[in-house]
Amino acid sequence: MKARVSLILALLCGLAWAVQEDPKEPKQFPEPEEEMEEAMEEALASTLYSAPDSCRGRCHKSFDQHHPCHCDARCPEFGNCCEDFESQCGHEGFSHSSDAITTDELKAISEKIYRADTNKAQKEDIILNSQNAISPSETGDRVDHCPEPLFTYVNEELFSKPTYAAFINLLNNYQRATGHGEHFSAQQLAEQDTFLTEVMKTAVMKELYSFLHHQNRYGSEREFVNDLKNMWFGLYSRGNEEGDSSGFEHVFSGEIKKGKVTGFHNWIRFYMQEKEGLVDYYSHIYDGPWESYPDVLAMQFNWDGYYKEVGSAFIGSSPEFEFALYSLCFIARPGKTCQLSLGGYPLAIQTYTWDKSTYGNGKKYIATAYVVSSTR
């Protein structure tokens, strides 16, 4: 029998809102953008989202905790919009409706990208030991519930594939503590170009470019690649020193700010750091529904003395797959929740823009991107 369990989660400012557990509804585990990161991580949990009502006549009305779903300007940020928020309250994306990317189009292209990921891990390539799950209320306890590593086995032959090798070469190019400026050597800059060159050879990124070109977002592949380089590798300042962070560093490599782990949403990075004894896997609050890779895990861990309260990550995906989906969502739904579909299962990704500095003609950098919901 399907269970429906009411949960109440207080988020920020003491506001409480009721949500219900339903196997058909997406499961939320958001991580906030920079200004809200500490406050939100204290309340961070695997909540569930149910939106039976409509935004008809309610667009951009102020938040009311008594409503089961919402239509205010910040509902995409908190993942509690009504199901028809986009259709009733307007498309995100270009100002012209002919250039707007619809949710149906996002779901269709994400399925194409999912099918195109031939470089992903096969079932026999990874043995995962997820061990003990905890409740959302326990994520702040910082208790190690799992005596064994998360990864029992990974077929490291995967890492010799061109996109994996190029990705791994980038991971040691950063200082993880914010407030320390990043200074790249000529070789490190060349490694960024190599990564972009290799991922653009894949069917995954070819699908993404073809879609965005058709949507009038980019006139040429060169323009697309240049934009990817700026949005992902362009430096900005999260701390006191100029140029101490980038979207790539935050999302894939991970950072430490104010004594906490921020970002760090990549399984390859996790595996390599765990193998070196630098990551200690504590528990998880969510294990996705996929029976093959890629899957999704929302977990708690200690990274060389610093705690991550809830970190969601794809497991077993190729570097180009994650890079493509996060890029797609940042381009189509910057700073919003992006509804996708993978293998018939709904999945949402949240991105945030870095608003304190820009590149080009006012374009914004990626601040962060991560999975916020799925379904079981």
The residues annotated with a catalytic role in the active site are: 250, 265, 308
Q: Which two tokens stand for residue 26?
A: 């997406």
Token duo for residue 336: 């919003």
What burial letters (b/e) apply to 164-196, b meaning 16+ CB within 10 Å? bebbbbbbebbbbebbeebeeeeeeeebbebbb
Tokens of 69: 């779903």
Q: Is-contact 181 244, C-beta < 8 A?
A: yes
Give the CA distances from residue 258 to residues 39, 227, 261, in Å, rounded to whole numbers and listed in that order. 12, 31, 9
CA dist., res. 263 & res. 368, Å (int): 7
Q: Which of 247, 274, 327, 183 is nearest to 33 (CA)?
A: 247
Nearest to 247 by CA among 190, 313, 327, 303: 327
- The CA distance from 232 to 283, in Å, is 30
